[in-house]
């Protein structure tokens, strides 16, 4: 019996949609390619955008490549005086980008590939303040892969990488492209905030951490740019507030379980409590002998200075500022801003503790980066209104941020912000000596850093700080950690000391070798 075969059924020929909008591509639905908005997006009131192929501007990539100017090579990318030469690329693309990756923004162009490669090889290092393999893997590998399915994150990375490459090798084409990517980032990011889901939360959260780098600082550094620097300062604080709000959505609901949590954690170690410091001595009031129960003898007979423990650890000038907020006066107008400024001072205390006990360390860098996430909207409003004490605290934050290894997108702009704040304060008659003294402390850090470097600038913070010695901080931290082990009751002090001695011998032998 002859085998019966199933014949092929002819289908009506149809044209595949290759130029559909990005929304239809992402949702994997048929797009009618309607302009300016396709039928699918129009019916559902969705944001409709088509991928723009080719180079922006009058010159095409092939036109740029055929320029007669002599090419140069930067990190495997061949450039001419006018732009890219795409005909001579020799870099190795990651496996997840070969062949051309169908990203959420459409098909990645060769320029997109080049910039992603630049981000993965160079740019990410400028954001990783922690020397941690997990953080490095997140910045270098996980974030770029995550961006393939989240257009706002992809455009953020492309904009940052383009700006970084332009800073290393100036190119008008790359600079212009960075601006286009930046505009697309904020447009799509704003749209994504309207519908935050479990699927896009991590992508939105990571994008928020990169937005600060998308706000370029003013170009000039003279006094005429003061207003521009103050506006830039407010933009950074406002974007930081957005990151705080995003993180708060899951802060108490397992945010530490997210793969990107190491990028937003607020501390790396538990700090020892503030040290006992030498106080100013008893302030015995005048009166008959025995009239003061705590110090019944006459005040001149007391020569000691009792040790005092403070719940806060702030430089003397900031401590005086805090005391001025807590002391009430029956004369003069009421101070309605005390409750707004105090929490910002409290949030600064762990920063100084980390710097004192462990000097310039990664925990200190992380605490500096996340400090603005503790600032509430009322405080930001005071900064916007240029309240002197709020401006002083922001000046201290910028001065401390100057101790973090410099990011390419900030450069020397930190000092310009502090200088601008100083000129605003000097123009106010009612500032007062306490506020002026507090600002001098921040300004001194900037100037010391310019003259002698970061270590000297950090050390100068603890000068004239009674009872506090810069070199004594690490010793106190070591003693506190030993005490923590001893409190467990399972570790012998002699074992710890012998282990320390063995460690010293090992390092000494290694140095000799």
End-to-end CA distance of the chain: 87
Distance CA 357, CA 272 (A): 8
Give SS3 for 483.
Answer: helix
Distance CA 157, CA 135 (A): 16
pLDDT of residue 452: 94
In the DSSP assignment, the letter for residue 139 is: I
pLDDT of residue 303: 55
Distance CA 381, CA 383 (A): 5
Q: Give the closest residue to 416 by CA, choosing from 434, 404, 398.
A: 398
Distance CA 177, CA 61 (A): 13
Distance CA 452, CA 458 (A): 10
Q: Which residues contact 455 (CB under 8 A, 6 or more apart)?
A: 359, 360
In the DSSP assignment, the letter for residue 297 is: S
Evaluated on CA atoms 124, 129, 131, 136, the torsion sign reads negative
User: Ramachandran region of residue 411, left (φ > 0), alpha (ψ -120 to 50) or beta?
Assistant: left
Residue pair 244/343 in contact (Cβ under 8 Å)? The answer is no
Q: Which residues contact 66 (CB under 8 A, 6 or more apart)?
A: none
Neighbouring CB atoms inside 10 A of 255's CB total 17
Q: Give the closest residue to 124 by CA, choosing from 153, 164, 78.
A: 164
Question: Hunting for tokens 């949590």 — which residue is that?
Answer: 261
Give SS3 for 317.
Answer: helix
Residue pair 318/438 in contact (Cβ under 8 Å)? The answer is yes
**DSSP one-letter string for 364-433:** HHHHHHHGGGG--HHHHHHHHTT-HHHHHHHHHHHHHHTTSPPPTTTTTHHHHHHHHHHHHHHT-TT--H
Tokens of 35: 């302009």
Q: Give the closest residue to 317 by CA, choosing from 468, 436, 454, 403.
A: 436
CA separation (Å) from 490 to 205, 495, 500, 502? Answer: 42, 11, 17, 20
Question: Hunting for tokens 């003259």 — which residue is that?
Answer: 451
> How far from chain centre, in Å, is Cα 195?
25
pLDDT of residue 35: 76
Neighbouring CB atoms inside 10 A of 79's CB total 20
Give SS3 for 72.
Answer: strand
User: Ramachandran region of residue 191, left (φ > 0), alpha (ψ -120 to 50) or beta?
Assistant: alpha
The tens place of each residue's pLDDT in the chain, 513 residues long, gives 455 544 444 555 555 556 788 788 777 788 888 877 788 887 777 777 776 543 333 333 333 333 333 333 333 334 443 443 434 444 444 544 443 444 555 678 888 999 999 999 999 988 888 888 999 999 999 999 999 999 999 999 999 999 999 988 999 999 999 999 999 999 999 999 999 999 999 999 999 999 988 988 888 777 888 999 999 999 999 999 999 999 999 988 888 999 999 999 999 999 999 987 654 444 444 444 444 455 555 555 555 444 455 678 999 999 999 998 887 655 556 778 899 999 999 999 999 999 999 999 999 999 999 999 999 999 999 999 999 999 999 999 999 999 998 666 666 788 899 999 999 998 876 678 999 999 999 999 999 999 999 999 999 999 989 889 999 999 999 999 888 877 666 555 555 555 555 444 433 343 434
Neighbouring CB atoms inside 10 A of 317's CB total 21
């Amino acid at each position: 019996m002859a085998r019966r075969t199933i014949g092929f059924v002819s289908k009506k020929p149809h044209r595949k949609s290759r130029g559909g909008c990005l929304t239809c591509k992402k949702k994997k639905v048929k797009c009618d390619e309607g302009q300016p908005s396709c039928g699918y997006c129009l019916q559902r009131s969705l944001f409709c955008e088509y991928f723009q192929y080719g180079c922006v501007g009058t010159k095409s990539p092939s036109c740029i490549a055929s320029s007669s100017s002599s090419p140069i090579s930067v990190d495997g990318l061949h450039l001419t005086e006018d732009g890219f030469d795409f005909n001579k690329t020799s870099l190795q693309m990651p496996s997840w980008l070969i062949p051309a990756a169908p990203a959420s923004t459409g098909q990645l162009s060769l320029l997109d590939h080049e910039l992603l490669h630049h981000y993965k090889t160079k740019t990410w290092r400028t954001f990783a303040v922690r020397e941690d393999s997990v953080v490095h893997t997140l910045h270098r590998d996980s974030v770029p892969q995550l961006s393939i399915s989240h257009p706002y994150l992809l455009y953020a990375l492309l904009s940052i990488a383009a700006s970084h490459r332009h800073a290393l090798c100036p190119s008008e084409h790359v600079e212009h492209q960075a601006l286009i990517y930046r505009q697309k980032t904020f447009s799509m990011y704003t749209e994504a905030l309207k519908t935050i889901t479990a699927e896009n939360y991590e992508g939105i959260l990571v994008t928020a951490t990169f937005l600060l780098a998308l706000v370029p600082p003013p170009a000039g550094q003279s006094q005429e740019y003061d207003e521009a620097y103050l506006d830039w300062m407010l933009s950074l604080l406002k974007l930081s507030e957005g990151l705080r709000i995003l993180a708060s959505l899951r802060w108490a609901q397992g945010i530490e379980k997210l793969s990107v949590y190491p990028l937003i954690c607020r501390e790396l170690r538990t700090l020892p409590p503030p040290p006992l410091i030498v106080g100013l001595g008893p302030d015995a009031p005048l009166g008959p002998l025995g009239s003061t129960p705590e110090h019944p003898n006459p005040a001149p007979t007391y020569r000691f200075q009792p040790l005092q423990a403070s719940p806060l650890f702030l430089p003397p000038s900031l401590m005086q500022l805090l005391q001025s907020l807590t002391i009430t006066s029956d004369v003069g107008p009421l101070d309605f801003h005390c409750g707004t400024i105090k929490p910002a001072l409290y949030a600064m205390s762990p920063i100084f503790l980390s710097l004192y006990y462990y000097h310039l360390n990664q925990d200190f860098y992380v605490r500096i980066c996340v400090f603005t996430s503790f600032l509430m909207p009322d405080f930001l409003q005071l900064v916007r209104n240029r309240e002197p004490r709020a401006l002083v605290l922001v000046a201290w934050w910028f001065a401390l941020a100057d101790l973090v290894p410099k990011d390419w997108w900030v450069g020397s702009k930190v000092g310009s912000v502090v200088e601008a704040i100083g000129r605003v304060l000097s123009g106010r008659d009612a500032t007062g000596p306490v506020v002026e003294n507090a600002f001098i402390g921040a300004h001194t850090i900037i100037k010391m850093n310019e003259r002698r470097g970061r270590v000297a600038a950090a050390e100068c913070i603890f000068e004239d700080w009674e009872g506090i010695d810069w070199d004594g901080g690490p010793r106190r931290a070591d003693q506190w950690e030993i005490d923590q082990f001893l409190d467990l009751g399972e570790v012998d002090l002699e074992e710890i000391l012998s282990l320390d001695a063995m460690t010293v011998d090992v390092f000494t032998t290694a140095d000799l070798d």
